[in-house]
Chain A
Amino acid sequence: GAVVSQHPSRVICKSGTSVKIECRSLDFQATTMFWYRQFPKQSLMLMATSNEGSKATYEQGVEKDKFLINHASLTLSTLTVTSAHPEDSSFYICSAGTTGELFFGEGSRLTVL
């Protein structure tokens, strides 16, 4: 089946630094990808919709200047957490769809010290 891959799976960074997470569709092209955030023992909350070749669409309450999304190609979307702080520590998951099904990446756990 279709595969969506995220990298890195785990990242630890110091407060104030920026972190980039990649989401790739390995065997299909995705004009749209979605970024979710999941707090411990909670559900997934949609952060933004990443659109290839255009600006991302952010959900209400998500700071677009904090969470930069770039979807430069049909197989790659990136999420950059800028000037990360401990409250940004979370599990970030991306997804992309093809042939009527949505596939999720393995997730990236960000820990900000």
Chain B
Amino acid sequence: AQSVTQPDIHITVSEGASLELRCNYSYGATPYLFWYVQSPGQGLQLLLKYFSGDTLVQGIKGFEAEFKRSQSSFNLRKPSVHWSDAAEYFCAVGENFGNEKLTFGTGTRLTIIP
């Protein structure tokens, strides 16, 4: 069975600082990996996804993530965070390309301090 681990429950960074959110997955085949962001009381918005090809993927809002098969990781990064980035971030893994059901990590809550 597939699983996703987000080791950091809560991260606090200063506005303008760089950010890295960790995600490790467990899956027997080639995973389909996603990062979603959720603002309080809202649904989820897709930041980026990896299916195949270039292991460094660019997403919206200046985010990027790198797939490292050897480390079973798909960490999310942003060079300079903005106060509006404060939210909950979820990493997810899917079994198939497209709209199949996803397994989510427990999430990382990001707080931005001035």
**A interface residues (Cβ-Cβ under 8 A, vs B):** 4, 6, 30, 32, 34, 41-46, 49, 91, 93, 95-98, 100-107, 109
Contact = CB atoms under 8 A, between A and B. Distances in A.
Contact of A104 (B44, B97, B98): B44
Interface string B74-105: 00000000000000001000100111111111
B34 to A, nearest CB: 8
20 contacts: A4-B43, A34-B102, A41-B109, A43-B106, A44-B44, A44-B90, A49-B101, A91-B41, A93-B43, A97-B98, A97-B99, A100-B98, A100-B99, A102-B46, A102-B99, A102-B102, A104-B36, A104-B45, A107-B43, A109-B41
B71 interface: no
B99 A101 contact: yes
B101 A34 contact: yes
A109 B109 CA distance: 20
Given A43-B90, A97-B100, 15 more contacts: A6-B43, A41-B107, A42-B107, A43-B105, A44-B44, A44-B90, A49-B101, A93-B44, A100-B51, A101-B49, A102-B102, A103-B46, A104-B43, A104-B45, A109-B41
A95 to B, nearest CB: 8
Contacts of A96: 99
Ranked nearest first, the 5 interchain pairs of A and B with the lowest CB-CB distance are A97-B99, A104-B44, A104-B43, A106-B43, A43-B104
